[in-house]
Amino acid sequence: MAFSAHHDEDSVKEHFETDEQIESKARSLATQIRKSKHFIVFTGAGIATSAGVPDFRGPSGKWTLEAQGKRLQTSSQCTLQAIPTQAHMALVKLQHDGKLKYLVSQNCDGLHRRSGIDADCISELHGNSNREFCIRCGTEYLRDFRAVASHEKTVFNHRTGRRCALCRGDLHDSIVHFTESLPQIPKERAFDAARKADLCLVLGSSLTVTPANEVPEVVGQRRGAKLVICNLQKTPLDGLASTRIWAKADDLMVRVMQHLELSIPAFVLRRRLKLQLTPKARGCQLVITGLDVDDTPATFLQSVKVERRTAKTEPYIFELRDDLVSGVEFMIELQFMGHYGEPNLTLTHRYNGGWEDLQCSYLLSYSPQNASWTTSREAQPLSGQL
């Protein structure tokens, strides 16, 4: 990966259009989205600034401050506690309604995945600070902590110090540093989506980082396809844009959704819990693991308590005295990482004698607005191994 971060005053100057101009362009964009057969979105750091995540090229952005010899004052907790923005959630709604076919992002903050975007509908070209993978078998893991190497020797040493639960291979972070190549599969899927796209919307990107910026460029250069750029600073691709919008991502997307007559959903944090019961000569064994909504192994618990026994290491394994007889219940107390103030949750799993009770999963949904959990047992048992 290479980049061209210009630090002259004109390149970081922010431009704002009037409300009337933004409204008119939002109405036009909504019409284009309705007519589009293959609509894609390309996002940069600007989509997350209203969530408190700093951008790169704005007046207080990382690159801008570095060019001035200043340090960015922010915490590693920033992205973990950030609530996905209205623009994030608008994209979730568009994707779930079938209007948004693919999302390409330069961001490493993990907010798109957390917001509810389907994992198979996004390319995180520069990685995800909450995602690591096994260098041996390729298994991915999502974490409710920064799964990033310490860089004690070099930034190109991606080992996180953890090992794969399946094959014990070294886990590597997914962050792509400058001069490193983009991950092959996300890159191929991004460019494939661009070649199919008849409409591409850029939200909050300076479009200076290569080769990521070549994705919207593919759309802008193709006859019959339209490139729409929404960013506060100038970009190198402005000349290819059929529509140029000088606005914040939220300000545009709220209006676009109104013209599409679609409501922007509130952010809900969704987790899944996998339970496996195994009968023993005496009692039984209960194994609990966390999953993301797409079955990716996920770490979001600090501890699990069953029958006064507490486990703090994944997978959470309990050797229990209760025999597996119909009607037996297991009280499971979950303690979360708590980045959104999640309270502990007590889940009751009842064994009714059926095979579907031996291996199953629960969907856990948390509303930061109400500070409350809702749970539901999923209809079908999970397949595969722990």
Distance CA 153, CA 80 (A): 26
Kindly report whether the peptide bond that precedes residue 381 is cis, defined as omega within 30 degrees of 0: no
Distance CA 268, CA 116 (A): 8
Angle formed by the axes of helices 249-259 and 86-96, nearest 10°: 40
**Terminal Cα distance for the chain, rounded:** 35
Residues 6+ apart with CB under 8 A from 191: 214, 215, 218
Active-site choice (126, 151, 158, 259): 126
CA dihedral 14, 17, 18, 22 (to 10 degrees): -130
Among positive and negative, which fits the CA dihedral 330, 336, 340, 342? positive
Degrees, nearest 5: CA angle 272-106-175: 70
**Amino acid (one-letter) located at 334:** L
Among positive and negative, which fits the CA dihedral 36, 42, 46, 52? positive
Active site residue 126: yes
Distance CA 67, CA 337 (A): 36
Q: Which residues are catalytic?
A: 126
